[in-house]
Amino acid sequence: MEFPFDINNLFPERISTLDRNLGSGCEASRRPEPQDQIATVINELGRASAQAQQLAAPITSASKLRYSNHHLFLLKEGEGNGGRGVVVGFLKVGCKKLCLLDRRDAHVEAEPLCVLDFYVTDAMQRHGYGLELFDFMLRHRQAEPALMAYDRPSAKFLSFLAKHYSQTERVPQVNNFVVFCGFFLNGQGKVNLCTK
C-alpha cells in the first residue's frame, strides 16, 4: 500500500507498535503533520481490512485507536515506492472481558488478549508477512496463541492459525469470539465463573 508521503520517515522500524497516542517511536511522529499522516495510514488500512472481510464498516481507525487500550502492529517494506516504503499490513490486539463457554458448556469469565483485526494487503498475502506480524506481537505481548481469543476470524485467518500455530480444535461459543481447546487446559478458565 503506497502513500504520497515517506513511510520510512514515518515508521523507521520494520514493525512499529502504535497505541492511543499513535506514536510510532520516531521523533517526527510527535509533530502534528506526521500525526495526520499516521492517522491516514491507519484509516486506509482499516478500510482495506473491512473490505477484505466484507464488513459493513471498518473496525480499525485512528479515532477508534485513540479511544482504546489496543495495540496496533504495523509492518512496512522499506524498499518500495521509490525508496519511500510501502505499508504491508497490520495486526490489532487488546484485552477484553469475555463470557465464554468451556468444554463442558460452563460459563467462564476471562479477560484474554484478543486479536481484533488483522490484514495483509491483497497482493502480499501468502508470503509470510502475516506470520512475521503475529510472531512479533506474541514476543511483544509475551502471549501464546492458545491463550488468546479471536474476534470473528475469517476462513483465511483460521487456516493461518491452523497452519502456523496448530490451533484447530475450537470450543463452540455463543458470541463472535473463537477460542481453542488449549484456552481451558491451563487453569485460565477456572477463575471468575459467570453468574448468568
Ligand X SMILES: CC(C)(COP(=O)(O)OP(=O)(O)OC[C@H]1O[C@@H](n2cnc3c(N)ncnc32)[C@H](O)[C@@H]1OP(=O)(O)O)[C@@H](O)C(=O)NCCC(=O)NCCS
Residues of span 97-116 touching ligand X by CB under 6 A: none
Least CB distance from residue 139 to ligand X, whole Å? 16
Which of these, 147, 150, 143, lies nearest to 185 by C-alpha position? 147
Residues of span 17-56 touching ligand X by CB under 6 A: 49, 52-53
Q: Tell whether residue 118 is a contact of ligand X (CB under 6 A).
A: yes
Largest distance between two CA atoms of the chain: 58
Would you say 38 or 178 has its CB closer to ligand X?
178
Contact with ligand X (CB under 6 A): which of 28, 59, 99, 131? 131
Q: Tell whether residue 170 is a contact of ligand X (CB under 6 A).
A: no
Would you say 9 or 125 has its CB closer to ligand X?
125
**Residue 173 burial (CB count, 10 A):** 14
Residue nearest to ligand X according to CB distances in the complex: 130
Q: Tell whether residue 83 is a contact of ligand X (CB under 6 A).
A: no
Q: Tell whether residue 125 is a contact of ligand X (CB under 6 A).
A: yes
Chain positions contacting ligand X, by CB under 6 A: 49, 52-53, 118-120, 125-131, 153-154, 156-157, 159-160, 163
